[in-house]
């Protein structure tokens, strides 16, 4: 056997053959780079990415370093979920076995500006992280509305674009918003609901809907498409006042008097109910299961509380709960991850972030 140093010398290449071979090597490398650039989006600028979505949120509301890019105004809560075992027939998730699961949550107003008045939007949101004894987690982000305006990430992005404030008035251009809703008939259920909606005086009196569909998996591996909502035990909702900040004080006052409770109600789909379109409500007669009680016992400011560093990505799910074919779910996951990276990078004061702005405050 020859050692490599004695490898038989190959016949020399002609000049043209050598050039051709170098060109071939260059072409192979170039193809890899171009394919990578395309898959990574740099060579496909028209593709909707999480970065473009979050950029649009920032363009609409401004940049507030360290804060979430949407639902920026909020407050941390803590408590537990007492499962009654009723959902065990549909899901093997440990959280549904009879017993208690600790919860770290967050209430918020769906605005990009953490200093906006509480009455800026007639919607409240509830985000929860259940931590099972086995270390798996269930994260959920819910809103106090029964139906989402749109069903696809692209339509949501166009809605954000239509909501971009007019530089002159500082408010969205009504003509652009009108044109958006006119060209998106799927928004009709949301528009009908929002006409009746008022900014509530309390987080504690609202019920919160998952909006997206998920899939429960039972012990036999059978799948059950589902939506859920947290129904307030005290559903006595009243409109908020003119003060810009009343929600946090209301919540603290109620919690000082005692725990606040919600029932987790699972709505099981019937065959044919759309799982891929959050803009469509399911009929009201669907089978419902009361899975247990969410008990919230304490609250802390979001700047120092345990919810601050949690990304309430609704695709973080325990064994027994899966995402459905709803196209909004992966988009939410991607956009939340982008928002989380930007705000944690600001917390870390990494170069290129808007963090220096905070220090000036």
Partner 1 sequence: MTRSPTQFVLAARVLHWLMALLIVSMLFIGVGMVASVSERHAWLISIHKPLGIAILLLAVVRLIVRLRNPPPPLPADLPALQKFAAHASHWLLYVLMLLIPLVGWAMLSAGGYPVMLSDSLRLPSIFPANAVAFAVLRHAHAWLAMLLLLTFLAHLGAALYHGLIRRDGVLRSMVGGRAP
Does 347 bind partner 1 (CB under 8 A)? Our answer is: yes
Q: Which is nearer to partner 1, 269 or 329 (CB)?
A: 329
DSSP letter for each residue of 30-77: HHHHHHHHHHTTTT-TTS--HHHHHHHHHHHH---TTS-SSS-EEEEE
When asked if residue 220 is in the footprint of partner 1 (CB under 8 A), the reply is: no
Dihedrals φ, ψ of 208, to 5°?
A: -130, 130
Which residue, 52 or 261, has its beta carbon nearer to partner 1?
52
Site string for partner 1, 122-161 (x = CB under 8 A): ------------xxxx---------------x--------
Query: What is the token pair recorded at 115?
Result: 């200093």
CA–CA separation, 287 and 267 (whole Å): 6
Cα distance between residue 256 and residue 291, in whole Å? 26
Task: Choose between 118 and 132: whose C-beta lies nearer to partner 1.
Answer: 132
Secondary structure E strands in the chain: 73-83, 99-109, 125-131, 137-143, 208-209, 214-217, 223-232, 260-268, 288-301, 321-323
Structural tokens at position 70: 């949407």
Query: Is 23 a binder of partner 1 (CB under 8 A)?
Result: no
Binding to partner 1 by residue 344, rule CB under 8 A?
Answer: yes
- 56 touching partner 1, by CB under 8 A: no
Closest approach, Cβ 159 to partner 1, in A, equals: 14
Cα separation values, 344 from 6, 104, 130, 330, Å: 57, 19, 22, 21
H/E segment holding residue 257: helix 247-257
Nearest CA to 200 out of 143, 281, 284, 257 is that of 143
Query: Binding residue for partner 1 (CB under 8 A) from 149, 225, 240, 327?
Result: 327
Give me the least distance between CB of 8 and partner 1, in Å please.
7
By the rule CB under 8 A, 278 interacts with partner 1: no
The answer to whether residue 32 forms part of the interface with partner 1 (CB under 8 A) is yes
Least CB distance to partner 1 at residue 47 (A) = 7
219 vs 279: CA distance, rounded Å: 31
If one asks whether residue 222 binds partner 1 (CB under 8 A), the answer comes out as no
**Binding status of residue 303 toward partner 1 by CB under 8 A:** no
Which one, 285 or 359, has the nearer CB to partner 1? 359
- Here the tokens at position 198 are 């008022």
By CB under 8 A, tell whether 43 contacts partner 1: no
Residue 200 is classified by DSSP as B
How many residues touch partner 1 (CB under 8 A)?
A: 60
- How many other CB atoms sit within 10 Å of the CB of residue 350? 12
Residues known to be catalytic? 71
Q: Does 33 bind partner 1 (CB under 8 A)?
A: yes
CB atoms within 10 A of CB 121: 20
Q: Which is nearer to partner 1, 33 or 179 (CB)?
A: 33
Residue 358 contacts partner 1 per CB under 8 A: no
Name the pairing type of β-strands 223-232 and 208-209: antiparallel
Per CB under 8 A, 350 contacts partner 1: yes
Selected from 296, 308, 314, 339, the binder of partner 1 by CB under 8 A is: 308
Return residues touching partner 1 (CB under 8 A).
Answer: 1-5, 7-8, 10, 13, 18, 21-22, 24-25, 28-29, 32-33, 35-36, 39-41, 47-51, 53, 134-137, 153, 217, 308-311, 315-316, 319, 322-323, 325, 327, 329-331, 333-335, 337, 340-341, 344-345, 347-348, 350
């Amino acid at each position: 056997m020859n050692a490599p140093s004695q490898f038989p010398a190959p016949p020399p290449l002609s000049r043209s053959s050598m050039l051709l071979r170098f060109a071939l090597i260059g072409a192979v490398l170039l193809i890899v780079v171009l394919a990578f650039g395309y898959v990574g989006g740099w060579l496909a600028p028209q593709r909707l990415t999480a970065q473009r979505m979050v950029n649009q949120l920032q363009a609409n509301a401004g940049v507030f370093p360290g804060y979430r890019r949407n639902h920026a105004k909020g407050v941390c809560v803590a408590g537990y979920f007492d499962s009654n075992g009723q959902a065990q027939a549909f899901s093997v998730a440990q959280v549904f076995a009879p017993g208690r699961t600790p919860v770290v949550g967050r209430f918020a107003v769906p605005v990009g500006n953490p200093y906006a008045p509480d009455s800026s939007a007639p919607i409240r949101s509830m985000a929860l992280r259940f931590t099972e004894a086995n270390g798996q987690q269930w994260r959920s982000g819910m809103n106090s509305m029964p139906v989402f305006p749109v069903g696809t990430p692209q339509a949501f992005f166009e809605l954000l674009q239509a909501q971009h404030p007019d530089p002159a008035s500082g408010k969205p251009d009504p003509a652009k918003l009108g044109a958006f809703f006119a060209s998106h008939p799927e928004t009709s259920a949301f528009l009908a609901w929002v006409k009746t909606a008022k900014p509530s005086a309390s987080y504690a009196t609202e019920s919160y809907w998952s909006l997206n569909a998920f899939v429960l998996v039972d012990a036999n591996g059978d799948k059950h498409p589902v939506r859920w909502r947290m129904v307030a035990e005290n559903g006595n909702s009243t409109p908020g006042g003119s003060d810009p900040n009343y929600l946090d004080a209301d919540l603290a006052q109620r919690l000082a008097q005692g725990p606040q409770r919600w029932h987790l109600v699972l709505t099981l789909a019937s065959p044919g109910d759309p799982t891929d379109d959050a803009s469509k409500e399911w009929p009201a007669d669907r089978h419902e299961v009361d899975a247990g009680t969410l008990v919230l016992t304490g609250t802390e400011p979001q700047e120092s509380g345990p919810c601050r560093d949690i990304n309430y990505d609704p695709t973080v799910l325990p064994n027994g709960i899966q995402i459905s074919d709803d196209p909004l779910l992966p988009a939410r996951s991607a956009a939340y991850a982008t928002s989380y990276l930007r705000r944690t990078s600001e917390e870390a004061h990494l170069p290129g972030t808007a963090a220096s702005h905070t220090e000036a405050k």
